Structure formats: structure tokens, C-alpha cells
Amino acid sequence: MMARSGLFAAFMFAALCTLLPIGGSWAKEAAPLAADEAVEKRLINIAEELRCLVCQNESLAGSHADLAEDLRREVRSLLKQGKSDQEVKDFLVSRYGDFVLYRPPVKPTTWLLWVGPFLFLVIGIAVLVTSLRRRGAQVVDAGLSSEERKRAEALLKEQQ
């Protein structure tokens, strides 16, 4: 019986080895770096300030989404064309809107974005204070009447 299980294990191991690619061939190739290190450094600096449109909570530099790779390629080509960092950002904003920026500019369309969290905090504190005051006004020290006190004493005497 022991030989059968050992033979079965060896057979399964051999079958598994033939099915699995050897040498980590399922891993992706590393993305090629720009020939110019200065361009690559500028790309990383710009990509850190841009939001991945797929992941949304990740920077363009840290995202592994296909769209992020395409956008990094696009940014790299714009930098090679001699565009400034601001021109690259303006190009991406014109295509994808202010959402692509991690720090959108303060303008009338983004006021709620900048002021909203503080506004909600102030409203929340006001609601909390108001409800606590109302609750405090409603709580009244209700003492026991003499009849209720006699009933409570009678119940306690029954328990003993």
C-alpha cells in the first residue's frame, strides 16, 4: 500500500512538472526604461502626481493596469518631444479632466471637493451638539412616589 502511494505521488509530481512552465516563464517582462535617465526621472515625478484612471486610489507610477502602462508610454513620448511637465499634465487634463490629478486645482467646479470634507465635519459636530443638548433637556430625574417606593420595598422583602 505504501509503495502505491509513493508511486502515485511520483506520478503526480511528474505530471505537475510537465504542466507548469519552467523558469518562471509566466512572469511578465520588465517595462523598458527610457534611453535617457532624465526623461525617466521626469516621467516618475509626473506619474506620482497623476491618478490611475482604472485603480483610482493608486498613482500612475505605481499602477500595473494596462491603461496606466499606456499612459506612462504616452507621457514618455511627450517628454521625448520636449514638452514641459506642465504641458504634459495639461494634455492629460484636457483628455481625462481634473480627475486625473491627485491635487486638482481650486476653481468653482472643485470647491465642493476642497471644502466638502470640512463642511461635513462642521455639520456633523453641529448635529451632535444639538442632539446631545436635546437629550440632556429630556432627561429628568424622576424620583419615586411614596406608593412606588412602598411597592419596591415590598418586592425586596418578598425576595428575602
User: Reduced to 3 states, what is the DSSP secondary structure of residue 25?
Assistant: coil
Band the pLDDT of 35: cuts 50, 70, 90. Answer: low
Angle between helix axes 66-80 and 85-96 (nearest 10 degrees) is: 140
Q: Homologous superfamily of 32-104 in CATH?
A: Cytochrome C biogenesis protein (1.10.8.640)
pTM for the full predicted model: 0.53
Contacts of 132-141 with CB under 8 Å at 24 or more apart are none
pLDDT in tens, 58-105: 888 888 888 889 999 999 999 999 899 899 999 999 998 888 888 888
pLDDT at 98: 85
pLDDT digits (tens, 9 = 90+) for 102-150: 888 888 888 888 899 999 999 999 999 999 988 877 766 667 788 888 9
Domain segments of the chain as ranges: 32-104, 105-135
- Asked whether the predicted pLDDT for residue 19 surpasses 70, the reply is no
- Measured from the Cβ of residue 72, the count of other Cβ atoms closer than 10 Å reads 20
